[in-house]
Amino acid sequence: MSYEALIEDMVAAQADIFGAAAVEMAQGVEGLALDESGAVERLERDGVAVVDDLVSTYVADLGGAATVTLKSAADDHADRVDLPTALQ
Amino acid sequence: MGTSFDASRLSGLAALALTALGVLVIVGTGASDRGLTEASAYLDLARSATHLLGLGSSVLLAYYAVQARRRFAGGVFGESATATAAGAGTFALAFLVMELNHGLGVDVLAVLGDMQLKMAVSMLLFTGTAFAFGWAFARIAGVLGGSDP
């Protein structure tokens, strides 16, 4: 388990609901490079900070309801990586 | 990023729109059993206004649903938007049929002949709308709640 895996699960959870738009939104997060399928290519910043920015991006674009699926996706990773406050 | 869709706000607006459209159906169909000769001029005007308001609201809702469908294609939200557009379309069709008959005297269901059959077709349009809206809501609620229908 890693931040890459956590991010991919978060993006996949959002893509299930919002389609390719969810990947496009995540591609706008600084320090995060994703391919079109939502797989992480590079993580160029601290994992917690990137995950926190990813949550903020989704909430800004989709509303607070987005955190429901993001928290659910993060649950499986909670004992392996540090989660930002927004996902706790 | 282009147009931003706030999912929770959109859900609230959709609920308000459905409530408003429901009221329109009650008002629109409640008066439709009266004959033209019995209806007052005021009621006549109110019926046309209700039909046109219902038609306009439905078309507007369908437009926004199509925009959301384009934005979220490939996801559950896109599927729900498709169902919402279809439901709004049948709703608009029902109001169009009613107003064509009431305002212009054009009975597009005349080919069906029997009045009961005409009413059944009208109710089928409303049923289709209710089913499409219900399915759209159930898909979103299901995936957010973790149990797809």
Confidence of residue B146 (pLDDT cuts 50, 70, 90): low
Q: Which residues of B touch A21 (CB under 8 A)?
A: 71-72, 75
pLDDT at position B142 is 83
Nearest of B100, B96, B92 to residue B66 by alpha carbon: B92
Of all residues in chain B, the percent with pLDDT exceeding 90 is 39
pLDDT at position A5 is 94
Please answer whether residues B7 and B77 qualify as being in contact, where contact means their C-beta atoms are separated by less than 8 angstroms: yes
Mean pLDDT of B6-30: 65
Q: Does B141 touch chain A (CB under 8 A)?
A: no
pLDDT at position B30 is 58
Higher-confidence residue: A66 or B147? A66
Mind giving me the DSSP string for A19-85? Answer: THHHHHHHHTSTTEEE-TTS-EEEE-S-HHHHHHHHHHHHHHHH-TTHHHHHHHHHHTTTTTSPPPG
Q: Which residues of A touch B5 (CB under 8 A)?
A: 61-62
Position B56, amino acid: G
Mind giving me the DSSP string for A6-17? Answer: HHHHHHHHHHHH
Mind giving me the DSSP string for B63-120? Answer: HHHHHHHHHTTTSHHHHHHHHHHHHHHHHHHHHHHHHHHHHH---TTGGG--HHHHHH
Least confident of A5-9, B16-20, B37-41, B104-108: B37-41
Least confident of A45-49, B26-30, B114-118: B26-30
pLDDT at position B65 is 95
Q: Does B147 touch chain A (CB under 8 A)?
A: no
Residue B126, classed as helix, strand or coil, is helix
Which contacts (CB < 8 Å, 24+ apart) does range B79-86 have? B79/B136, B79/B139, B80/B135, B80/B136, B80/B137, B80/B139, B80/B140, B81/B136, B83/B132, B83/B133, B83/B135, B83/B136, B83/B139, B84/B14, B84/B132, B84/B133, B84/B136, B86/B128, B86/B132
Mean pLDDT of B20-36: 60
Complex-level ipTM beyond the 0.85 threshold: no
d(CA A88, CA A85): 5
Q: Does A16 touch chain B (CB under 8 A)?
A: yes
Nearest of B99, B139, B105, B138 to residue B122 by alpha carbon: B99
Q: What is the pLDDT of residues A7-53, one digit of tens each?
A: 999 999 999 999 999 999 999 999 999 999 999 999 999 999 999 99
Residue in chain B lying closest to A66 (CA): B7
Least confident of A15-19, B34-38, B99-103: B34-38
Closest partner residue to B74 (CB to CB) among A19, A61, A63 is: A19
